[in-house]
């Protein structure tokens, strides 16, 4: 028994159950990540300033001893 001939269109086609993300979905994810980054950046900057202030207070205490 010989196998059925395979045409180019069926040989290169993606499997039926597999789907890709649409451009709209990718843009939506990028927008959400951008919003999260925009809200997290100031909080991280404030944490850095607080850390630096705490280190300065600690250094001042050590000098006073």
Q: Any idea where the domains of the chain sit in the sequence?
A: 21-64
Give the global pTM. Answer: 0.49
Q: How many CB atoms lie within 10 A of CB 46?
A: 10
**Tens of each residue's pLDDT in the chain, 65 residues:** 666 666 666 556 556 677 889 999 999 999 999 999 999 999 988 998 889 999 999 999 999 77
**Rounded distance between C-alpha atoms, residue 46 and residue 48, angstroms:** 5
5-43 burial: b if 16+ Cβ within 10 Å, else e:
eeeeeeeeeeeeeeeeeeeeeeeeeeeeeeeeeeeeeee
């Amino acid at each position: 028994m010989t196998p059925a001939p395979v045409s180019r269109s069926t040989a290169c086609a993606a499997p039926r159950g597999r789907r890709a993300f649409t451009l709209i979905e990718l843009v939506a994810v990028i927008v959400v990540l951008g919003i999260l980054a925009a809200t997290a950046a100031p909080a991280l900057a404030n944490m850095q300033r607080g850390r630096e202030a705490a280190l300065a207070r600690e250094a001042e205490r050590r000098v006073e001893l």
